[in-house]
Amino acid sequence: MTNVQLDQAIAAKIDEILTRSQLSSEMIQMIKSSLNADSKNGELFKWAHLTLMNCECVSGVPEVALPGAIAMELSALAADIFDDIQDQDNDDLPWRQIPTANAMNLAICLSMLSSEAVSTLPNDRDSRLYREVGQILCHMWITASDGQFQEILFDTREQVTLDQYFELVKRKSGSLTACACKIGATLGGAPASVVLQLEEFGTNLGIMSQIRNDLNDFLDFEKKKDFVNNRKTLPYVYLLNILQGQKAGKFRELIRIEDKGFQEFGKEEQDCLKQLTIDEGAVHYGRVMYEILRQKSMEIMQAITRFGKTQRKDD
């Protein structure tokens, strides 16, 4: 199947699930307008494709994994909506342009529809897969929800360590990408050891994505306002832990200023924060951590590639 054919199959299966669920026309319209709404380069169903890629990676059949891929797509969209409601972020997206109560109901509906998608797995082939994929999704929701809960608590704390930051990101962002990889590998028929390797790969992928977002957004004072909103992103936590003496005092002063709101945090304060971020190596640290995770992920993929070649020889 080409990517275009896969996109068509994914869209058709989603339509089938929405029709079978007997949703109102308004809810269906909102779901369809929300799918792929955050795509920056026109890519479609990125979470479903990540799931299917992992299935193919272990020599599985994408068509078999399609229900799991759609479940992941719907779950990830629901998680994004909950996250944006919590952070009051991404105002241009469809779910941020409707009342918050409606957006929450939309996210709840999507999370339940993901379970509906899993239920379309062919039970006559192997009912074990239905249970396993359901458990993987359930574990993801529990872990990611706890991560979201901890993120709010972090915003109220004066001190957060780098270890605490990475554990939070592992639970909040890493759990979603790990879920997609694990579902794909499971439906692809991979042995438990390979499923675990791809789960780790997915966790690394999620943390890398969060590091990249944190570095891009930290000094975006117009759109993201991460610092002004006291978000404990990687540059913030790094500076919180690395600065000493007068520089630490200056950073604490900037934090006190941002507590007064965006209007008080003007160009002079922004320039000061930019200089601290660059001079003290916050960006460099983030890039190094990103590269460490990338190398680990490459090693996992090389091991999986060797597994795939062995499988094909055995076949």
Beta strand extents in 101-205 (DSSP E only): none
Given pLDDT bands bounded at 50, 70 and 90, which one contains residue 31? Answer: very high
Hey, where are the domains in the chain?
A: 3-314
Q: Which residue has the tokens 């039970």?
A: 123
pLDDT the model gives residue 309: 60
- Average pLDDT of the residues in 188-217: 95
pLDDT the model gives residue 102: 97
Give yes or no for residue 54 having a pLDDT over 90: yes
pLDDT the model gives residue 258: 56
Give yes or no for residue 124 having a pLDDT over 60: no
pLDDT digits (tens, 9 = 90+) for 279-296: 999 999 999 999 999 999
Given pLDDT bands bounded at 50, 70 and 90, which one contains residue 224? Answer: confident
pLDDT digits (tens, 9 = 90+) for 158-173: 899 999 999 999 999 9
DSSP character at residue 265: S
pLDDT the model gives residue 122: 75
Given pLDDT bands bounded at 50, 70 and 90, which one contains residue 263? Answer: low
3-314: in CATH 1.10.600.10: yes
pLDDT the model gives residue 41: 83
Contacts 24+ apart (CB under 8 A), 204-207: 204/174, 204/293, 204/294, 204/296, 204/297, 204/300, 205/174, 205/177, 205/181, 205/297, 206/169, 206/170, 206/173, 206/174, 206/175, 206/176, 206/177, 206/178, 207/166, 207/169, 207/170, 207/173, 207/174, 207/293
pLDDT the model gives residue 306: 72
Report pTM. 0.91
Give yes or no for residue 215 having a pLDDT over 90: yes
pLDDT the model gives residue 126: 57
- Average pLDDT of the residues in 80-90: 91
Give yes or no for residue 308 having a pLDDT over 80: no
Give yes or no for residue 4 having a pLDDT over 90: no
Share of the chain above pLDDT 90, in %: 72
pLDDT the model gives residue 256: 83
142: amino acid identity, one letter: I
